[in-house]
Structure 1
């Protein structure tokens, strides 16, 4: 069985409701995969598995997850290197490092790679689950982002963090329009509603179409979806 595991909590917006959290497990040890998949699924996570670091990096950068679990010693790409690459690409995440090695050097190495907490093996699954829940709660409380597919709308910086690490600046009205859509990502918003909430001084609802065009030009056509005859809803970036 592998000796080290990293658990990473991706920041959430606090608007998920009762939806299950999505979890990516990057692990090549079948026994450990079975153990953690069963335990974390019982906690309510939807678990996906990658068997090497390169696949884990690809999934971590292109799909939205609430939790990523990464074994340190992986084929193709070491777990610490994987975590550092995710950090470098603006994947803001809480991290818990699990390892059989408990020296100061090992703890410092894990924390320097981007981990927020450290738990030494052998560990109790109840303690692991409790620490993971605590990190996720802290993430929810501190979160200032709204998800747009694999990208995030940063409510503090008022820009969009793309999966490849680039950031896209928004004007005040572009930001507010995208914020309204992202706050209720499954809802369809009529043009009149969006004009009322974002462009109160505008004489016509056609201004909504103009700013949807601006957002699509910056973020891609899929960023805002047209629901014909009804209005707009959030898409993906």
Structure 2
């Protein structure tokens, strides 16, 4: 998703040479539609998009449990902007102007992560199954999750080292619900189904994915 036509044409040609099949849109609304209706391994999102800002696009994709890897490409390169991009649900963040070899290396790294995941995300000895929307247990059992339970654990598991604030989870997972207590409620549901270790409380900061 890139609204600079000259840069967009360059990227499409560059990705084609590298063997990637691409779709290009120039505004956030159409980009969100494609992200929700088609399957992508990696999505490149410009932050300053017309119709719908790139941050909002990423948040809404994650709210709908879209698990494609997302690279945010933007002219805003301050640390605060980077943090905002990653907190919205992006997997990587590259500021303009950028070097083409670095961009391609980041795309390759994100693509490898998609291949390695193979529709599951590790949770210690268990795995989160993104296709079946549940947790595969070590002994072969399977625990199905509700839509919001899955969206919450998926958001935590995508960035296992990150501590996610209640405000961030309320925005990304629960569509900006009125109260942050909804986050605590669904953490309780996950712990009741999967054990208390599945979500770790980081006092004063928020939550982090645990292990099973």
TM-score range, shorter chain: 0.5 to 0.7
Q: 1:136 aligns with which of 102, 111, 117?
A: 111
Secondary structure in structure 2 of the residue aligned to 1:119: strand
- Within a 5 Å distance, the mapping from 1:28-107 to structure 2 comes to 28-107=3-82
Max Rg structure: 1
Answer yes or no: is 1:119 the counterpart of 2:94: yes
C-alpha separation between the residues in 2 aligned to 1:48 and 1:88?
Answer: 22
Provide closer, same or farther for how the CA distance between residues 51 and 102 of structure 1 changes in structure 2, counting only shifts above 3 A: closer
Larger fraction in strand? 1
Deviation at 1:71, TM superposition (A): 1.5
Deviation at 1:49, TM superposition (A): 1.7
Secondary structure in structure 2 of the residue aligned to 1:33: helix
Q: Which has the higher contact order (CA 8 A, sep 6+)?
A: 1
CA contact (8 A) 1:153 1:159 kept: no
5+ residue gaps in structure 2? 121-129, 137-141, 151-212
CA contact (8 A) 1:160 1:167 kept: no
Deviation at 1:98, TM superposition (A): 2.6
Runs of 4+ in structure 1 deviating by more than 6 angstroms, as ranges, are 165-168
5+ residue gaps in structure 1? 1-25, 146-150, 169-237
C-alpha separation between the residues in 2 aligned to 1:91 and 1:160?
Answer: 18
Q: TM-score, normalised by structure 1?
A: 0.50
Q: Deviations over 1:69-97 (max 9, x none)?
A: 22211121111100100000010132222
CA contact (8 A) 1:159 1:167 kept: no
Q: 1:152 aligns with which of 131, 156, 160?
A: 131
C-alpha separation between the residues in 1 aligned to 2:143 and 2:51?
Answer: 33
Partner of 2:197: none
RMSD: 2.8
Secondary structure in structure 2 of the residue aligned to 1:141: helix
Partner of 2:161: none
